[in-house]
Amino acid sequence: MVDLRIGLGYDIHRLEEPGEKIVLGGVEIPYHKHWVAHSDGDILIHAVIDALFGALGERDIGSHFPDKDPRYKGADSRRLLVETMKCVGQRGFEVVNIDTTVIMEEPKIGPYVDEIKSSLSPLLGIPQERVSVKAKTNEKIGEVGENRASQAYAVVLLRSKL
């Protein structure tokens, strides 16, 4: 019998000036602001990690990679995702697909979606067509709409390895 697990992840980070870039899904995007974060602030990968841990019935990303731990200061979130995927594999699961939504006013990420998908798919061990990255704005409402923060959601489906 195949064991299926669904996980939901979320992340948000404040935006501040000055900056040169943001990192989203492992892809550097030029921008005049930066995310305030202990690691590289990659909200998309952080949401995916939370979804993966959630599907395993584990605690959140902060429990596994605490922001008080100097090992994660400025960490490349792709490395954290690789470590998370090791945990997924050790528990006998594999990713079926992920569906993500990034909510931010600026910069527009549409031109980067294919590059983000190609960055995430090998880290997750799935083909690009099983990685969904959608971009939305917050219609100028709230901190995200005022471009003072960005957020991301992720849903993941895991199945037991056959």
Residue carrying structure tokens 């990659």: 42
Instruction: Decide if 133 contacts 25 (C-beta within 8 A).
Output: yes
Mean pLDDT value across the chain: 96
pLDDT of residue 66: 87
Whether 141 has a pLDDT exceeding 90, the answer reads yes
Residue carrying structure tokens 């090791």: 86
Q: Is 115 exposed, middle or buried (0-12, 13-18, 19+ CB in 10 A)?
A: middle
pLDDT of residue 86: 98
Q: In the chain, what percentage of residues exceed pLDDT 90? A: 90
Q: What is the 3-state secondary structure (H, E, C) of 115-162?
A: HHHHHHHHHHCCCHHHEEEEEECCCCCHHHHCCCEEEEEEEEEEEECC
Whether 87 has a pLDDT exceeding 90, the answer reads yes
Instruction: Decide if 44 contacts 102 (C-beta within 8 A).
Output: yes
- CATH H-level, domain 4-160: superfamily: 2-C-methyl-D-erythritol 2,4-cyclodiphosphate synthase (3.30.1330.50)
Q: Report the distance separating Cα 61 and Cα 80, nearest Å.
A: 9
Span 95-132, pLDDT tens digits: 999 999 999 999 999 999 999 999 999 999 999 999 99
Span 24-39, pLDDT tens digits: 999 999 999 999 998 9
